[in-house]
Amino acid sequence: MAMLTSQYLPLSEFIQSELLKALRAKRATPNLTLETVPIDHNLSFELWTPKWTAQGSACTPLEIELLRRDRPRVMRVLSKMIWLMGAVCVGEYDWDVGDRQPLYDWDGVIDFVRREAQCVNPIVTRVIFNPHKIIPIYDKSRKQVGKILPQAWEISPPHWSIIFDDLVPDGENFRLQQAGEWVSVDIWTGKPMRREVRSGRFYVEYHDLYASDRD
């Protein structure tokens, strides 16, 4: 019996093709980089990402306006992904988050970022796709001398890390600054499982490697 694949809607019906392309500026945007974020093996979307220095962001008013105008498109893409897979949101001082339930509503994610990251006007400035990995976990409190076995191994399934920054008023315009506190907002395709070497304990461990290392 032949498979009736033509009866199934393509992914483009879930995320419309017009949402995949970022807005273009009429002038140069040296402080922005146009990134491509994969959604699956044959579909991706574009995102303007600011360049950061030790002094922060040096985006021009034109670049800030481009980020603001393109924000609704990015929100529509990510809200569809969150509706489908959920977003696990973890604050800096959250503990025992292995049973953390995902949020499936974009407004709920924004409320979390405003509260936990101390963002007045959150805007997505980077989305990082992390492929499947097997990660060694070391005890950071121990001095690493010679070859030391990891304290645990983690199986990290594919996921997207969503990075938010803050658009704060600056006179009649806005300026971009990093969020006030560390937060992790990730769309996971499965649960990240960690097994301890000595005890053999096996448990769920949510994390965001990018956010935890960010200044």
Q: Is position 138 within any domain?
A: yes
Count how many domains the chain has: 1
Q: Is position 157 within any domain?
A: yes
Per-residue confidence (pLDDT) for residue 208, from 0 to 100: 65
| Cα separations in angstroms, 28 against 33, 66, 112, 195 | 11, 11, 34, 49
User: Do 69 and 174 touch, CB atoms closer than 8 A?
Assistant: no
Q: How confident is the model at residue 209 (pLDDT cuts 50, 70, 90)?
A: low
Per-residue confidence (pLDDT) for residue 11, from 0 to 100: 62
On the question of pLDDT at 175 being above 70, the answer is yes
Q: Is position 166 within any domain?
A: yes
On the question of pLDDT at 4 being above 70, the answer is no
Per-residue confidence (pLDDT) for residue 173, from 0 to 100: 83
pLDDT tens digits for range 6-29: 466 566 678 899 999 999 988 889
Cα distance between residue 178 and residue 111, in whole Å: 17
Of the ranges 87-101, 123-137, 139-153, which one carries the lowest mean pLDDT score? 139-153
Per-residue confidence (pLDDT) for residue 9, from 0 to 100: 57
Mean pLDDT of 105-131: 95
Per-residue confidence (pLDDT) for residue 99, from 0 to 100: 86
On the question of pLDDT at 118 being above 80, the answer is yes
Cα distance between residue 199 and residue 149, in whole Å: 14
Per-chain mean pLDDT for the chain: 87
For residue 126, the enclosing domain spans 22-213
Q: Is position 12 within any domain?
A: no
Q: Is position 87 within any domain?
A: yes
Per-residue confidence (pLDDT) for residue 210, from 0 to 100: 55
On the question of pLDDT at 149 being above 90, the answer is no
User: Do 63 and 32 touch, CB atoms closer than 8 A?
Assistant: yes
Instruction: Tell me the one-letter amino acid at 112.
Output: F
Rounded to two decimals, the pTM is 0.86
pLDDT tens digits for range 24-77: 988 889 999 999 999 998 899 999 999 887 777 788 999 999 999 999 999 999
Cα distance between residue 137 and residue 143, in whole Å: 14
Listed ranges 49-53, 162-166, 177-181; the one with the highest mean pLDDT: 162-166
On the question of pLDDT at 177 being above 70, the answer is yes
